[in-house]
Amino acid sequence: MKQKNGYFHRVTEMSPTRLWINNVTPGEARLALEAGAVGCTQNPTYPYKMLTHPEDSARCYSVLDGIIKAEKDDNRAQGLFQYALVKEIAEQFLPLYNASFGRLGFVTIQADPFHEQRDVIVEWARLHTREYPNIMVKIPAIPAGLAAMEDLLAEGCPILATEVMSIAQMLDCAKLYEQFLKKNGKVPVMYFAHIPGIFDEYITSVVKRDNRDVPADYVWQGGIAVAKKISALLAENRFAIGFCSGGARGLHHFTELVGAPCSITINWGGSADKLIEQDQPVVQRFPAPVPPAVIDTLCEQIPEFRKAYESKGLNPEDYEAFGPVALFRSNFETGWRKTLDLIALRRKEKGL
């Protein structure tokens, strides 16, 4: 039964912030929808999660067996398997998409993290969006990805630009979308996902590695400080692109963003369920400014923060190698590689 007075329902009622849920099983998706989730992000680690999930493993291996029987290339087989799993979640969110006339209920999918060339991204995106109107393709905000976004917007494909760790990346995505709006008048829905959790994980490791004299309280605010500047720039320029936040590494990556006009994507287990259990008062903390001393110290002591915070801190050719982006992608690459190992083992066991 839906708890209409639960924590996330109250967040929706009392703020412009919305819950998206991340990398969920079908069971978790059902719980998230009941709790007030209005969207979902699935990433390249999802096939591995499902193949190793105690409740879903047997069913998912059955799906995989049918795919690897017909598809001899393991990498492509994983891509098809991922799509088969994401369609199950899209089906659950489809009623919300229809009821909201296409404003809510999107489920994202991000393809092979080892092959992010423009033509490969476009090829998979066309496959991913051919059946469900609420499947949104998730594409990294790197030069090849931005080029693919241009192609796919022209084809009417809803897009979530991901791996956004810097103001420069956000501005490139927002301006790309504005150009299409001016040219075409009506284009598909487009969001970007800023990733403050992974960003904080990265700068925390830099401070520790280099023994930098930065108070932990300051570092704790790093990703959220970038998010606040992003929000201000979106409002100042009246950009039409949607704002998502993701990569949470603590509950504060939701609670400190309450009040932001954005969707926040968090995991169900260990994050969304904990916030429901704690049932904190809904307080809009996001509008509170970051003290200038915090910004000044982070810019002076952590070059990666300065590059992320300044509007021209990074050039497009630097996006892919930027430390926080590389860290985020490494998680996806590890998950993709582990699934390839499981597929190879399954072929051997089944003689397929």
Q: What is the pLDDT of residue 2?
A: 47
Q: What is the pLDDT of residue 3?
A: 56
DSSP 134-170: TEEEEEESSHHHHHHHHHHHHTT--EEEEEE-SHHHH
Contacts of 208 (CB under 8 A, 6+ apart): none
CA distance 202 to 164: 14
Q: Write out the chain's pLDDT in tens, 352 residues.
A: 345 789 999 999 999 999 999 999 999 999 999 999 999 999 999 999 999 999 999 999 999 999 999 999 999 999 999 999 999 999 999 999 999 999 999 999 999 999 999 999 999 999 999 999 999 999 999 999 999 999 999 999 999 999 999 999 999 999 999 999 998 877 899 999 999 999 999 999 999 999 999 999 999 999 999 999 999 999 999 999 999 999 899 999 999 999 999 999 999 999 999 999 999 999 999 999 999 999 999 999 999 999 999 999 999 999 999 999 999 999 999 999 999 999 999 999 988 7
Position 28 in a domain: yes
Angle between helix 323-350 and helix 74-99 axes, rounded to 10 deg: 110
Q: What is the pLDDT of residue 20?
A: 98
Position 2 in a domain: no
Q: What is the CATH number of the domain that holds 342?
A: 3.20.20.70
Residue with tokens 């995106």: 125
Please state the φ and ψ torsions of residue 136, each to the nearest 5 degrees.
-110, 130
Position 266 in a domain: yes
CA distance 124 to 36: 30
How many domains is the chain built from?
A: 1
Nearest to 191, CA basis, from 249, 253, 264, 129: 264
Q: What is the pLDDT of residue 1?
A: 39
Position 1 in a domain: no
Position 334 in a domain: yes
Range of the domain at 117: 7-350
**30 is written with which tokens?**
């059902």
Position 333 in a domain: yes
Judging by beta carbons within 10 Å of its beta carbon (0-12, 13-18, 19+), is residue 168 exposed, middle or buried?
buried
Position 214 in a domain: yes
Position 159 in a domain: yes
Q: Are 165 and 194 in contact (CB under 8 A)?
A: yes
Q: What is the pLDDT of residue 143?
A: 97
